[in-house]
Structure 1
Amino acid sequence: MSYAGQAPYPLTRFRRLRQSAQVRDLVRENTLTTGDLIWPVFVRDGEGVEEPVTSMPGVVRRSVDKIVEAAREAADLGIPVICLFPYTDPSLKTKDCAEAWNPDNLSNRATKAIRDAGIEIAIMSDVALDPYNIDGHDGFVEGGKILNDETVEALVKQALSQAEAGVDIIGPSDMMDGRIGAMRRVLEENGHKDVMLMSYSAKYASAFYGPFRDAVGASGNLKGDKKSYQMDPANSDEAMRLIERDLSEGADMVMVKPGMPYLDICRRVKERFAVPTFAYQVSGEYAMIQAAAQNGWIDGHKAMLESLMCFKRAGCDGVLTYFAPEVARVLNNG
């Protein structure tokens, strides 16, 4: 059988185009560059601190001064965006989550410090209440239920505080209904018309988030699960409806989370909407590759690069990955 005019074997031999590295480079359909990378980093209190995250080998929580160093390293490597996630002191976690929009909270202080250092890198931030919530949820909890509209009001205040601190890209990861439109309106009204929204539009209630919750200190606080607001892993059409809604409300970019288990969603998003599409290679994906590599079960270097190329092949314009600095060093060295 031939396809689209392709001559049958032996006139067509597909292996001709695989016979050398030079030919494989010539016909490669997708490429991975440092410009495709967003580096998620964890910020904590203190000075001169780099504290390992046990469940994420190679990942640390950094004090603000060390975050500035990390941003400079990322910029030097050609990584265009650094994404901040706070490890909040437990004493600051409350029912009303007021620390989320404190102008001097960890995330905002780190943003300002990077800006003051004059580092040419875009800063992305996370909008959700879980790092500040004594209940560990992305929204307010009342009677065991997650409140949507009241949470959106708080998220808008959080997003505005981040924009005022100097964030370029706001990443709402909460999965509340209506939050993109509410944030876009407030940003416009307050002179932040150029601040971008990368919506976690298709964020699934996944088992792959465990190490991240350790990294931000949310694991011990979480009561119950997040299935009433994060997506059912069995659903695909729903993701299309969510992305269509977020785009209609003013999202500039959309994200699928987790990454590799949801490459089919990435492909559907890109083909249907043709908008800037990102995926988050989440903590569990990263930890699995690292753990298998450390046990000698896989080649971690090759698995890292292959996993990221898979995102590009699926249609992603970029990837949030904890591997970003390591990948950038590999790419820069040819």
Structure 2
Amino acid sequence: MEVFEATPTKQMRITMHGVAVLCLVYVAAAAAVAPVTYLAMLTEYTFQKYSFPIPLFALFGMVGVAVFYRPRSPLTFILEKLRDRGKGALMIIAMFLLSAAAFSTLKHVTPVYVSFFADPFLAKLDATIHFGNPWKVAHAIFPLSLEPTLFVLYGPVWFVQMVGMVLVAAFAKDHAIRARYFLSLVLVAIILGSVVRIIGSSAGPIFFGRIVGGDRFADLMAVLGSSPWGGAMIETSDYLYSSYAQDRTVFGTGIAAMPSLHVALAVLNALFLSQFGRATKYWGWFYFSAIMFGSVYFGWHYAIDGYVAIIATVTIWRYSKRCVDR
């Protein structure tokens, strides 16, 4: 007979309050590392870039959902949703803005402390495991007539879906799925956007010639420059490189390839949308595929950047479920 009975260990269940605390720690770290940059980023994100789109997206999204689910009384549906989730959603959006500014701050200042040392290794590894440069395969198999569509999906639609998913999750009635999404989002930002980024600090193929030197990706730049859509991507890279070289704080600032946060967030959103039915699930995974392919096609990332992002994000998503379900 045992003198002491074993008692199960009580594990803490992560709630939105816990996620908020994690966000505040992340924000405090960014503000401590670069207070001036963080303040500039916060002003940029809150007052200049997101102050109009977020209310607009929320309005149109809510009206669309109300008309679909409650066509006879859409206004009643909207008022009920605002009464039920309005205050909570507003707090989540505020935390998102604070955290987005923190993420961009750390992304912008990291090269000051850690150089882009991993590009030669990643470029060689990418070519080795794919038996050649993945971007060449991407351009060989993809119809040129669809390049404008890929450009729109990778560029303008990215901003819409990023803000849209935050709003959908913020207004979601299911507490567990809401907490799981935002916990995953914060962990992706911290683990992939900061820790793994430092471990594999790199700029990507589109910046290779300017940061590493050499002509390894000269053919890619020539191909991109031969089309208006690829040329627009080069112009965007010029904007980011100018911000990096002159140490200017601008919207979307920062250069980083490994791991791909574009791919990571696309995977996370696909996993999130898979919880709501076939239509949203199919869209989520289609959009993820477009982002993964586009990241290589337009030269923003090595293919391996996306692979690491996929594995890490799926792992985080599964871990977050365990934290929320405890």
TM-score interval (norm. to shorter): under 0.3
Answer 1 or 2: higher relative contact order, Cα 8 Å, separation at least 6.
2
TM-score, normalization by structure 1 = 0.26
Structure having the higher strand fraction is 1
TM-score, normalising length: structure 2 = 0.26
Higher helix share: 2
